[in-house]
Amino acid sequence: MARFRIVTPAGASFTVAGGGYALESEALAEIDAEIVEAPTDTAGFIAVAKEADAIYAKGIPITKEIIDSLTKCRIIALGSVGVDSVDVKAATARGIPVTNVPDTFIEEVADHAMTLLLAGFRRLIEQDRMVREGRWKEGRPALLKIPRLMGQTLGFISFGRVARAVARRAAPFGLRMMAYDPFVEELQIAEYGVQPATLSEVLSQSDFVSMHAPARPEVHHMLKEQHFREMKPSAIFVNTGRGPTVDESALIKALQEGWIAHAALDVLETEPPSHNNPLLRMENVTLTAHVASASARFDEARKRRVGHELALVLQDKWPMSCVNPAVLQTTKLRRWQPIGMGRGPNS
């Protein structure tokens, strides 16, 4: 029997083909830890996970009921940026660190955000359709209705790692940039050539509004009808963050009634969307299937990072990325990082 037992819901996370835990196990082999799969129903998972040393969260919600049943758990590790599948509040109450991979796919998501911005602005899908349908001569007149990109304003809602990477990409296009994020110092925002602003200023002045808020209960439906009404009728809304941060019914209404011109979305409130979701039939919408983080390194990078985080905590060390860092001060885990990590007590 292995020294440490890590329990995970059966099946691959996300939609990546293949199975096995060889990549996660690279960091776990030397500490004699094994990953064990458990049923995906709550009762079945609890029966297997109750005395686990760690939980590798994927595939199912890790609820308060599950967390409260754990007797030995020292870490709940996620292979994603988003942590909405774990009841972080319940884990914090139990003193269990929850880790994610916040810096693994930054460049990919930033690339995708710029792709959506440019595709929406230059009406790429519409132009492609015109060519395929033999409407060649309609292409140029359609674009004569929109301004040049240089000099337009890009506004960010939340200015974390991805938004900062987008700002670096947007600057050479000659875009003026502004950002709303009450949790980031104004001087830090300004370092990227971005003007700190209120939410109202971002919404009312931006030609592009790029949403990057994480999926947390406090930002559920952060953008509502009144916010879309504040935006320019010519504005393009881009979301590569999380769908539930936006009241989708309000967004649909804004697109239908012309409050904004276009939406370019990688995330939706319900995924995959119902076949009768109006967004699927709207010509002023560009959609991708929550793929912004995907690249050839996606699966390998996140799996190795999960294994590394698990190995650190099981060796009584602070993890690299803890979303509830206050618990680290109350555990027996040792701070080992030689430099600040820029999060919580590591900073």
CA–CA gap between residue 86 and residue 61 (Å, rounded): 6
Element (H, E) at 79: none
CA–CA gap between residue 21 and residue 79 (Å, rounded): 12
Active-site residue (options: 271, 297, 300, 334): 271
112's tokens: 């995708």
Active-site residue (options: 242, 262, 302, 304): 242
Identify the CA nearest to 209 among candidates 173, 169, 253, 178.
Answer: 178
220 is catalytic: no
CA-angle at 156, arms to 153 and 161, nearest 5°: 130
CB crowding 170-208: b at 16 or more within 10 Å, else e: beeeebbbbbbbeebeeeebeebebbbbebebbbebbbb
9's tokens: 């819901």
Neighbours of 280 (CB within 10 A): 12
Active-site residue (options: 74, 123, 176, 290): 290
Q: Which residues pair with 297 in a beta bridge?
A: none
Does residue 80 sit in helix, strand or coil? Answer: coil
271 is catalytic: yes
302 is catalytic: no
Please say whether the dihedral angle defined by the alpha carbons of residues 220, 341, 109 and 231, taken in this order, is positive or negative: positive
Catalytically annotated residues: 242, 271, 290
